[in-house]
Amino acid sequence: MYFAFSLPEFSLQFLAVLVMLAILSILIIVHECGHFFVARLFGFQTPIFGFGLPFFGPSWTLGRRWGTEFRLHALLIGGYVAIPELGDESAGAQSFGVELQPFRKFPIWQRMLVAFAGPAFNILFAYLVMIMMLLVLGEPTQQTTVFSLIKENPIAAQAGIKPEDQILNINGQYVDSPSGAVKLISGHKNEKVIIEVKRNVNGQSETVSIPVV
């Protein structure tokens, strides 16, 4: 039995795994930031904010601020924030490796908001990413390209439409998807329509207007 091994293909798959882990880590950090900021707002203790997971390898202290020790772990995947007053309040400083203040009691609604803040930040982050993509890339569109012509219905071929033509508009109405093209043509049954297509002619892109009855 032989196994084919392609280094470029392996490299692409390895890169895809790294990108996936990076995206997942960003989502987890955003989630933990939600817990952290709302907990700080209500006065919960947040003794540790860790970047990465504390399961394997060493860790380094990045600094201390707002009563929180920021740590960087060798296993740099995701992150976490320690909020002891949301967990077992019998836990002492030895559970976190830092000095804790006396535990306080917090109303149930504040505890609920701290717990909900994580997914709320993820939702807000996704909305902001979508807004940025719309501002940078514009609204999503789909090219409408003719891949082949139906021999049983030669109307398009007789009109001059060719495979690999990209449909731009129909009767001046912009086409943003294959379903949109079908809808526009169906709305003009037994009528003459002008289809504007982009076509590759001799290695150059040209725009052609085609009347179809």
Q: Is 32 a catalytic residue?
A: yes
Cα gap 88→213, rounded to integer Å: 76
Taking the CB of residue 164, how many other CB atoms lie within 10 A of it?
Answer: 12
* 25 and 77 Cβ atoms separated by less than 8 Å: yes
Cα gap 133→158, rounded to integer Å: 41
Choice among 32, 69, 85, 196 that is catalytic: 32
CA atoms within 13 A on the CB side of 118: 15
Contacts of 177 (CB under 8 A, 6+ apart): 141, 142, 144
Catalytic residues: 32
